Structure 1
Amino acid sequence: MDARPNDLQVAPFFADIAKGPEGGQAHWVTTSDGLRIRVGHWQTKTTTKGTVLLFPGRTEFIEKYGPTASELAARGYAAVSVDWRGQGLADRMLPNRLLGHVDRFTDFQKDVAAVLDLADRLALPKPYFLNGHSMGGAIGLRALMEGLPVNACTFTGPMWNIYMAPAMRPLGKLMGKIGPAIGLGGKLVPTTDLDNYALINPFEGNTLTNDPVGYQFMRDQMTAQPDLTLGGPTIQWLGEGLKDCAALAAMDSPKLPCITFLGTQEQIVDCPAIHDRMARWPGGELVLLDNVQHEILLETPKVRTRVIDRMCSLFDQYC
């Protein structure tokens, strides 16, 4: 289990803020288009059932998934997560590192390929499973459609469409389409902020979690390691995200066991798109979580335990 290829490039890993299983590590990997991204993994002597690929959302980074990795390790699973291009310690896409940007949403699949390559080189236990959160749900869904080698999958608040107020949706679509064409693709979406949401908004009235401990955990991580912080998205990101979500919506669901968890207080991603996808996922299950917001894996301990128990119960059937 401890054998490691000699050519791996060790990357910074902030175990003190991750609060994951002991022995967590991170490595630099290079994508097929030459970007450097960071991949983290947790493996212990007892994580022999398989490995869960934890695909993070926008603004997120490896260390945020430390507590989830601990929960998975307690149930026998290793875990891998990633700093997608443009966030965390991965190469940022614009000189202003606080701008959340991507050239094309399909570029994230190059990051997925690099994650899988590292997992194989590390000989992490198989089979592989997937949990995609928020933007990671969109990246994960496309990866599944393109043959991601997992035995089963789960999603938490997946971004299968971008939430916008009904009155704003036509303007958002137009801005995402026209903005890049007239040289505004690298500009911040006007309704967002360069500062990270959790750092500038108090817990009271937040749109992420009902658990004050989970909310403070996110704030403390970014305060301790400011380089991990990301602000609002660019117009290019918005346009590309809308385009990729529309393309995915037109495709059939993968023939793969799936559970999707959605909070009844979800305010970040588009809920109708999730209901639509799961209604046409053969054998898929949509679990609605009462009084739960977007950050399902940073909700109250009772919610987290329920979700991860269900998640691992599914994975256990396909080990």
Structure 2
Amino acid sequence: MSISPAPFFDDVAGGPAGGAAWWVQTSDDVRIRVGVWRAEGAVKGSVLMFPGRTEYIEKYGETATQLVSRGYTVLSVDWRGQGLADRLLDDPRVGHVGHFTDYQKDIAAVLRVAREQELPKPWHVIGHSMGGAITLRAVMEGMPVQTCAFTGPMWGIYFSPLMKPLSKLTMVLAPLFGAAHKNPPSTSLGSYVLEQEFDGNTLTRDPAMYQMMRDQLTAHPELALGAPSIHWLKESVTECANLAERASPDLPCLTYLGTHEQIVDRDAIRARMPNWPRGHLVEVPDGEHEVLMEAPDVRGPVFDQLDHLFTTGDARAAAKA
């Protein structure tokens, strides 16, 4: 399928010069957006940056700056139902997907763009949060990457002791009352970063990065997304359970987990990584969910470690770099 130019908000991305985006149709006729920042000179390869729920290409401008400066071309994507990709419900504020495995159709479209744009090889992938679940299935099924990395991957969703039974009950009852496409009770259809002040946020300890997120959505509110649908939640819980039953691939892997993680299930990450062949878990002291958007003294060494992983394929050595 052909691709065509798409909007790219360079005014707020803060990434390397020359970023561009394209529209591409998936096999089930959903339009998604794919963005690329190209490295110049001696290019080491390309990094596919697969974002989390509510996220969008421009949010990864700083990540692209870090990776491009180390010699990697960077690709990112607006998954179906978020960013500028097609929203899937009448209320565009609700995050939704029909089946969680539909995101694999988005990956297939992304790889077509990567091939058509002749992204330099070898390819590597970073999966963040929801993108970590999407990426895990993709590498299990043979996505053509040389190494993989994860930050705060959604291999399970964190529920407080009070919310866990309520969430299960909601997922069971909502379809019976025609509410599967509604957001769960107590959640908001507004953007988290616009509604939550920096103090008390669960994403990052870096006020500058948090302000960047707020500024991006203030300038381009069409990128914003609120709570997920109850159906999305049910699909996500089911996918996490399905993935937990499968072995990790024999692929070099670094996974980062903030010790103050409050969004995804820390136990699910700690359960998988000791059994990942050529994999290694790095726990970031006091880190929140967005390890790549933590303070400069945290994220700088992380990008150095990722560079080492991508260059050598040795996750344990990379973690000590």
Q: Would the alpha carbon gap of residues 109 and 181 (structure 1) be closer, same or farther in structure 2, given more than 3 Å must change? A: farther
Residue 44 of structure 1: how far off its partner (Å): 2.8
Give the alignment partner of residue 317 of structure 1, picking from 302, 308, 312.
312
Letter in 1 for 2:10: A
2:281 pairs with one of 269, 286, 306: 286
- The aligned runs of 1:88-167 (5 Å cut-off) are 88-167=83-162
Q: Supply the distance in 1 between the matched residues of 2:160 and 2:31 (Cα, whole angstroms).
A: 36
Shift of 1:273: 0.3
SS for the counterpart of 2:39 is coil
The alpha carbon displacement at 1:137 in A equals: 0.2
* Shift of residue 169, structure 1, vs aligned partner: 1.5
Could you say what secondary structure the match of 1:53 adopts? strand
AA partner of residue 158 (structure 2): Y
Is 1:83 the equivalent of 2:83? no
Which of 13, 16, 25 does residue 21 from structure 1 map onto?
A: 16
Q: In 1, distance between residues paired with 2:42 and 2:168?
A: 44
| C-alpha RMSD over aligned residues | 1.4
SS in 2 for 1:52: strand
Matched, 1:269 2:264: yes
The answer to whether the Cα contact below 8 Å between 2:43 and 2:72 also exists between their aligned partners in 1 is yes
Q: Distance in 1 between matches of 2:217 and 2:35?
A: 17
Q: Which amino acid aligns with 1:245?
A: C
Q: Distance in 1 between matches of 2:169 and 2:278?
A: 36
Is the contact between residue 25 and residue 109 of structure 2 (CA under 8 Å) also seen in structure 1? yes
Q: CA deviation at 1:280?
A: 1.4
**1:170 and 2:165 correspond:** yes
Among residues 205, 228, 232, which one is paired with 1:237 in the alignment?
232
CA distance in 2, matches of 1:215, 1:10: 29
Q: Does 1:59 align with 2:46?
A: no
Matched, 1:73 2:68: yes
1: distance between equivalents of 2:156 and 2:147? 22
Q: How many residues are matched?
A: 314
Once the two structures are TM-superposed, the CA of residue 48 in structure 1 deviates from its matched residue by 1.4
Gap runs ≥5 in structure 2: 315-321
Matched, 1:303 2:303: no
Q: Would the aligned equivalents of 1:263 and 1:296 in 2 still touch at CA under 8 Å?
A: yes
CA shift, 1:32, in A, is 0.2
Question: What is the Cα deviation at residue 180 of structure 1?
Answer: 3.0
User: Could you tell me the percent identity over the aligned residues?
Assistant: 56
1:193–1:12 distance in 2 versus 1, CA, 3 Å: same
Partners of 2:99 and 2:287 lie apart in 1 by 31
Deviation at 1:49, TM superposition (A): 0.9
Q: Secondary structure at the match of 1:260?
A: strand
For 1:187 and 1:90, how far apart are their aligned partners in 2? 20
**Which residue pairs with 2:213 in the alignment?**
218
Query: TM-score w.r.t. structure 2 length?
Result: 0.95
Aligned pairs for 1:2-41 (under 5 A) are 8-41=3-36
Aligned-residue offset at 1:192: 1.2
* SS of aligned partner of 2:146: strand
* Aligned with residue 249 of structure 1, among 241, 244, 249: 244
Q: Secondary structure at the match of 1:13?
A: coil
Q: C-alpha separation between the residues in 2 aligned to 1:179 and 1:123?
A: 45
| 1:44 equivalent in alignment to 2:57 | no
Asked if structure 2 preserves the Cα contact closer than 8 Å seen for 1:47 and 1:78, the reply is no
Q: Deviations over 1:121-180 (max 9, x none)?
A: 000101110100000000000111111110001000000001101232133123224423
Give me the whole-angstrom Cα distance separating, in 1, the residues matched to 2:214 and 2:98. Answer: 28
